[in-house]
Amino acid sequence: MNGENRQYPLFCSRCFKLGQVYLLGHPILPPFPGLLSISDDEFKHFQQLIYKASGIHLPATKKMLVVSRLSKRVRHHGLDSLQHYYQFITHAHHADEFQIMVDLLTTNETYFFREPEHFSQLKQLLPDYPREHPFQAWSAACSSGEEGYSMAMTLMELFGTGRAWSVLGTDISARMLHIARNAVYPINATEHIPKNYLSQYCLKGVRSQAGTFRIEKKLRDRVKFQQLNLNAPHIPHLPHFDLILLRNVLIYFDIPTKRQLIHKMIDQLRPGGYLLIGHAENLSSLSTPEIHAQLSSVAPTVYRKKLSTSGG
């Protein structure tokens, strides 16, 4: 990126993706001669494997996704079928390839300032938030980092440098976390970033980095990333948070796993802290007496941990 020298404010035209189908946010090319096939039983094997590894349920409608995302890996290893690839990745000596498989099948759509109403709501809610401790936000399924950096831009506008604050992004995918830490994105990813944020927090690439932009260092320094499987029995070594973003995550899990996740989020949330879920999600079907006793609804998909509950 040729140092941190700012170029000029970014103004980007829309990017159109033609002739592609999008599944879980990634382009899947139309079928072509020689595409690998997958039987119902083979799909069930991958379905069970992903559920055990991440808690994510792949419905039968995602068979084409499995074929499309894993075909290159099958050929990369000189294999001739997804059945043989399944045997390969479940061998104890191929843990690295197993992680690649998990990355490919659990990566979901993300972009800067997705569901912008949430960021507008936070600008109304957070100015009056208690200031006796550093403000800590958690993007719990951050993918390639756009949500975490969107949150950081919002917090920088609200708190500036006069208050200690930070953002943690976690994800199961090591590949996505590498992108997040590098903080370099294609120029068309600026489409949803407010123009005043572009001029303040984004650096336009030149020469070898033309066609990209990078999040500025003063913002990157506030955002850290680490690998984490939300479906693990316990969430290790994390602080308590004032804000947790669990947006567009619950839709990929079955109801028991969703309930477990919400209980984990409540445990990690400070009393008075906020939990945000996606606009296509709700907690009404998940509510248990424990959840109801600890969370109150502030707005659709925005919840607050009640002050009377115990926690960090």
Least Cα distance to 248 among 146, 136, 152, 132 occurs for 146
**Catalytic-labelled residue, pool 73, 163, 171, 304:** 171
Using an 8 Å Cβ cutoff, are 222 and 166 in contact? yes
Name the active-site residue from 69, 214, 222, 247.
69
In angstroms and rounded to an integer, the radius of gyration of the C-alpha atoms of the chain is 21
Give dist(CA 259, CA 295) in Å, integer. 13
Active site residue 6: no
Residue 69 a catalytic site member? yes
Active site residues: 69, 171
